[in-house]
Amino acid sequence: MDQEPVEFRDGYPVAESAVRVFDHVEVRRAVEAYRFFYPVVSMEAILRGTRATGAVDNESAPVLLARPHHVGFTLNSDTPYLAAGLDLGRSGPLVIEVPPGPVVGLVDDHYHRWLVDIGLPGLGAGHGDRVLLLPPGHQEPRDTAGYQVVRSDTWQVLCALRALPLGGDVAAANALLAAVRVYPLARRESPPRFLAVNRDDTAMDTTPLAWEDNLEFWRVLHQVVEAEPPVEELRPMLGVLAELGIEAGRPFAPEASRERMLSDAARRGRDELLVSAFASRRPDRLVWPDRAWEWACLRPENGAFERPGSLDVEARDRWFAQAIVASPAMFRRERGAGSLYWLGVRDGTGTYLDGGRTYRLRVPLPVPQTMFWSVTVYDAATRSEVAAEQGQAALRSLFDDLEPSGADHVDLYMGPAEPAAAEGRWVQTVPGRGWFTYFRIYGPQGPAFDGEWRPGDFEPLD
């Protein structure tokens, strides 16, 4: 993408030089647009992936405890999920009712922007929620007593919920999600039934992996832009898309030369996002100066990646390249509340984790938590749970023997074959495929913040 100096004659650009400039600018705009709108295409993939399981917007949603056959960016096997696609254009104002209990959730709009937290991090603080979603341009109804009113700038939104299986009781967590109700405000006197359909054993893909490095990325993005009203804060970047031929009310029909350029820009943009995710040079990515562990998200202040006076585009790129949905509660680094997400991509020598090698991770005990903790292994290419013959990708304190009685530490193992010392505390990796991990602590306590407690680095054993 290097640009030759522009040639001028009598103060005007020389024709051949101007052509080179236009070509360079178009590619540069396309790559930047790709990075900016990647979360939008990722959101569309989530909505399409849930529908592919048989879910119907506003009427039903899949519920699942994620496993490797559920392909989704950094999903975990700790808590059951419910993911509901909601169509405000079809329903008008829509009510979401969540029962009291340990539920954590949010609503994001079609542009993958946070709208509201639900459950423990929401206004109801775990005592139940009634959220009223208003469609774009819709006047607030007169009688909204008892509702938390939230306005969406897009017709399509996603409600994503997790139920914490306290004490390892997955059945109770699933029952909480089955009690969620979604219905049009106009039918609140006799609301229709909302179905939570178990998809534990159903293969599912909610990622844009099939589109992210080719022309289809732009075609999907055009379909979203066509379907949604313009959003004021996105006006500058929507203008960049318009220059690339992606605009509401205008067919997406690029010429062959532009098709090639857009396809190349998608490949470049995807590669740049993965560099942000896994090869960042930002010093604030490191959790501790003597460890390789990094923060999965670089901005703990809010769910919009905002900092005083600007948008942290690098933090935004890094997050959405490897994960989905955003919320202040997800990123908040607060003692006793929420969760901490630490990213492990390298061993103690600074080398990327290799699916053909065996590693030991030493975890000091007790882990400073009030709920539970886990380590989940993800494939670096798919950013989804590693898919190996073992069929599992996580070690979880709720379900696995990770805290031997009287021990001051526990050793976890990752590698292609189970070491003799593992005693079942092992996740299988795949030779020829890199991997990374999230170390999650739910209800983190003081030692996890002040450095008094910290896990070891991955140690290669071979």
Query: Is the per-residue pLDDT at 458 higher than 70?
Result: yes
Q: How far is CA 22 from CA 105, 188, 356, 416, in A?
A: 45, 56, 46, 50
Query: In the structure encoding, which two tokens stand for residue 21, read together?
Result: 């400039």
Query: What rounded mean pLDDT belongs to the chain?
Result: 94
pLDDT of 121 over the 80 cut: yes
- Model confidence pLDDT, tens digit, residues 388-421: 999 999 999 999 999 999 999 999 999 999 999 9
Looking at the fold, whether 285 and 426 belong to one and the same domain comes out as yes
Percent of the chain scored above 90 by pLDDT?
A: 84
- Per-residue model confidence as pLDDT tens digits over 39-53: 999 999 999 999 999
Q: Is the pLDDT of residue 1 over 60?
A: no
Mean pLDDT of 307-335: 88
Range of the domain at 284: 280-460
* Residue that terminates a domain, selected from 232, 257, 276: 276
Task: Please give the tally of structural domains in the chain.
Answer: 3
Q: Which residues pair with 82 in a beta bridge?
A: 63, 161
Q: Are residues 316 and 241 in the same domain?
A: no
Residue 359: inside a domain, yes or no?
Answer: yes
The pLDDT value given to residue 147: 94
Q: What is the model's pLDDT at position 3? A: 64
pLDDT in tens, 194-250: 999 999 999 999 999 999 999 999 999 999 999 999 999 999 999 999 999 999 999
Main-chain dihedrals φ then ψ at residue 438, nearest 5 degrees:
-110, 125
pTM above 0.75, yes or no: yes
Choose one of 276, 295, 310: the last residue of a domain.
276
DSSP letter for each residue of 390-426? T---EEETTTS--S-TT-SEEEEEEESS--GGGTT-E
Domain of 94: which CATH number? 2.60.40.1610
pLDDT at 443 over 80: yes
Q: 283: Cβ–Cβ under 8 A, 6 or more apart, which residues? A: none
Q: Are residues 101 and 190 in the same domain?
A: yes
Clarify whether residues 357 and 371 are in a common domain.
yes
> What integer pLDDT is reported at residue 19 of this predicted model?
77
**pLDDT (tens digit, 9 = 90+) per residue, 264-310?**
999 999 999 999 999 999 999 999 999 999 999 888 777 788 888 99
